[in-house]
A and B are shown apart, each in its own frame.
Chain A
Amino acid sequence: MSWFRRRTPVAPLDYGRRLWMRAWIAAVALFLYAPLLVLIVFSFNDSRANIVWKGFTFKYYGKVFHNEGLLTALGNSLTIALLATIFSLILGALAAVLLWRFRFPFKASVEGTMALPIVVPEICMGVAMLVFFAAIDWPNDLVWPLSLGAITIAHITFCFPFVALVVRARLASFNREEEEAAKDLGATEWQSFRDVLLPHMKPGLVAGALLSFTLSLDDFVITFFTSGPNTITFPVKVYSMVRFSVTPEVNAVSALLILLTVVLTTVALKLQDVSAEAKA
């Protein structure tokens, strides 16, 4: 009479078997991924209006690759993201080491001020940047890529605190005796930093770089205030396209962007795995 036997009772931590938990997970997945799925599916929709499914086509992807304005914007965005990431990484890592290693007057205030760009509303940051660059008469007729200077600087200011935060958290687990051991074995300050501290910071640096790159790539508000007519970035361009109508072209572009970030994240995670395997 096996069907009569009661099934195994649900263990205290056996959350996966509880109905309400399953429903919750399903709801999260629905609201998180369904819109993205719809977006991608409709990028193949053969209709201008983009409300009803009319048939399958690749033509909007073709259109994207012939839309010069969009490609320029994408190029601008990638350039800015790359520059902002590099500078944020250096600045953030140095700030993290400084705050971790040394004690100095007003350290707490320095730490607080540095985290300000994380908490200040983006709209305020944007307006502040606009006013600042106007006040110092920042030239807006420079040649590419110097023309991206203002946006890049604005992006660095809100990206590097994130890098500093992540790297600082990583540094907290560092055993300082390792650094002393390196010095004891003859290493100079620089050599012990390069051979012992930097390898320990690496996971934090990779995470910080990923954060910076994606933050910079999809930032709209601050960029909107600091970009000029010749320095349109990808999100700003998409916004201007949407103002006319949501065409499948916008869907196609968004799908490509999603693909790009997924690929980048996968590569970064793979790199992490490789270094972890080399360690193991």
Chain B
Amino acid sequence: MSEPIIQIRNVTKRFGNLAAVDNVSLDILAGEFLVLLGPSGCGKTTLLRMIAGFEMPTEGQILIDGQDMSYVPPNKRPVNMVFQSYAVFPHMSVTDNVGYGLKIARVGKTDIRERVEEALALVRLDGLGGRMPDQLSGGQRQRVALARSLVMRPKVLLLDEPLSALDAKLRAQMQFELADIQDKVGITFVTVTHDQDEALSMACRVAVVNKGQIAQLAVPSDLYEYPANRFVADFIGSVNIFEGRLVVDEPERAVVDCPEIGRIYLNHGVTGAHDAAVWAALRPEKMTMSKRGAGAAKDAPDGHNQAEGQIRGMSYLGDITIYEVKLASGRTIRVSRPNLSRFDQEGFTWDDKVSLHWHPSSPVVLLS
């Protein structure tokens, strides 16, 4: 799991004046599950279609297993794709759908039958080979598309928004199943999605794409806890971002002065110029809320890492409750609390005056 199976080198794709993909370089490692995550129209699908060969890069090149793919048409590439619409052939039975690629490749009939059965068993569709696509549910149709690609034993399997058409329960189930199948077959998976839950739960690594460029490439937990910039911090999960100035920056501590929430103290240094404009990001679950005056920030100098406010809104989600707290500065932020007990002792409610504080390791300083 070390050498790259796909190398994307300075690839740009322009449609007219618009650069859908803008000078992207990316190494995809053999055997990993990489997710391209981004809002719609960010260029992630274009990137995937360039790997499959359905779009040609305007500039740059793509190497698969060390070979330049610039002049290789889609039907000669060692990759297979699962389409967003599944694109199951409606006039062929499940068996014929799954065996289509092998038939084109002139594999022997008995071999085809064996491999098709094996692939159907892998996606848990055994026994449904004789069905026609219109007799299948959406989830089953997707499994057919998956089996049809896996049966080709590609070096890389590309999946375009594979779960977007499924309902929530089935989607959650398929997330685990996809990861499980990937584990079993050991093929490199590259998936495109706009759903962060999907990305975080399935991926080995996630590449967050924004405006044709990769905003950050990291393992899911790093993406959440160490976002590289405001876009990633905001796109992954929920976050409060405050504009401020870096007033203290030493190897062991740093202070960001934010007009909206006060002084934020960190127990580590930040590599930035003194007095530079920076942004401090605080996740809603990383703040502690108490009745006014009841709690105080730990491990921070007086007056740092705390704020006063009033609850202006709350939404109960079962496992957690999200509160909207209006600060003295007028800014409203989100704070979440897990509902650890069935009976909330403190019983926060509308218009309660509250104090907030957080640990010096919680805030993230963003330079862009």
Residues of A at the B interface (CB closer than 8 Å) are: 175, 177-178, 180-188, 191, 195-196, 199-200, 279-280
Contacts and interface: CB of A to CB of B under 8 A. Distances in A.
Given A178-B88, A181-B148, A184-B149, 12 more contacts: A177-B83, A178-B90, A182-B89, A184-B52, A184-B75, A186-B75, A186-B152, A188-B75, A195-B89, A196-B89, A199-B91, A200-B90
B152 A181 contact: no
Interface in B70-114: 73-76, 80-81, 83-85, 87-91, 100-101, 104-105
Given A181-B83, A195-B100, A187 B75 contact: yes
A279 B84 contact: no
19 contacts: A177-B83, A178-B88, A180-B54, A180-B87, A181-B83, A181-B87, A182-B89, A182-B100, A184-B75, A184-B149, A185-B75, A185-B149, A185-B152, A187-B104, A188-B75, A195-B100, A199-B89, A199-B91, A280-B135
Contacts of A180: 54, 74, 81, 83, 87
B68 interface: no
Contacts of A185: 75, 80, 100-101, 104, 148-149, 152
Contact of A186 (B85, B89, B105): B105
B84 A184 contact: no
A186 B104 contact: yes
The listed residue with most A CB atoms (<10 A of its CB), out of B83, B132, B134, B135, is B83
A191 B101 CA distance: 11
Contacts, number: 65
B264 to A, nearest CB: 49
Contacts of B83: 177, 180-181
Contacts of B152: 185-186
Nearest to B96: A195
Contacts of A187: 75, 100, 104
A191 B52 CA distance: 18
Nearest to A176: B87
A183 B81 CA distance: 10
Q: Binding site of A, secondary structure by majority: helix, strand, loop or mixed?
A: helix
A200 B88 CA distance: 13
A196 B134 CA distance: 16
A279 B75 contact: no
A65 B76 CA distance: 61
A175 B101 CA distance: 19
Contacts of A200: 90-91
B218 to A, nearest CB: 30
Nearest to A280: B132
Given A185-B80, A191-B104, A280 B134 contact: yes
B280 to A, nearest CB: 44
Interface in B108-134: 132, 134
A175 B75 contact: no
A175 B100 contact: no
The listed residue with most B CB atoms (<10 A of its CB), out of A175, A185, A200, is A185
Contacts of B149: 184-185
A177 B159 CA distance: 13
Nearest to A179: B87
Contacts of B90: 178, 200, 279
B89 A178 contact: yes
Contacts of A279: 90-91, 132, 134
A184 B134 contact: no
The 8 lowest CB-CB distance pairs between A and B, nearest first, are A185-B101, A177-B87, A181-B87, A177-B83, A199-B91, A186-B104, A178-B87, A183-B75
Given A175-B87, A196-B89, A279-B90, A181 B81 contact: yes
A184 B152 CA distance: 10
Contacts of B88: 178
B74 A183 contact: yes
A178 B92 CA distance: 12
A175 B85 contact: yes
Contacts of A182: 89, 100
B64 to A, nearest CB: 14
A177 B52 CA distance: 13
Contact of B84 (A177, A183, A191, A199): A177
A204 B131 CA distance: 25
Nearest to B52: A184
A191 B85 CA distance: 21
B298 to A, nearest CB: 56
Contacts of A188: 75
Interface in B13-42: none
A186 B103 CA distance: 10
Interface in B125-161: 132, 134-135, 145, 148-149, 152
Contacts of B54: 180
Nearest to B79: A184
The listed residue with most A CB atoms (<10 A of its CB), out of B54, B104, B135, is B104
